[in-house]
Amino acid sequence: MWFQHPKQVCMTYFSHFWFSLSLSFKLAIGSIKAFVHAIYPDTYITSTSDITKEITNDLESVGCKEN
């Protein structure tokens, strides 16, 4: 019943844990950069699109793969 999601995405509990934690860290940094960008528009100009691409690549590289 508990912890079925990691198995559903072909990951162990700990690999899922560390992957999710890394996404959380990247999103937190991205959020701070977006906040700073809102105040100072000439800073972190591409940070939101950069983090979006990075996270998309991360998500495509883990878990179940279609053959």
Whole-number pLDDT of residue 60 = 94
What span, in angstroms and rounded, lies between the C-alpha atoms of 58 and 38?
26
CA 48 to chain CA centroid, Å, is 12
Enter the tokens of residue 60.
């495509």
Sorting pLDDT into bands at 50, 70 and 90, what band is 2? confident
- R_g over Cα of the chain: 15
Q: Is the pLDDT of residue 67 over 70?
A: no
Enter the tokens of residue 49.
């699109």
Whole-number pLDDT of residue 36 = 98
**For the packed helices 13-39 and 47-61, what is the interaxial angle rounded to 10 degrees?**
170
Tens-digit pLDDT profile for residues 24-43: 999 999 999 999 999 999 99
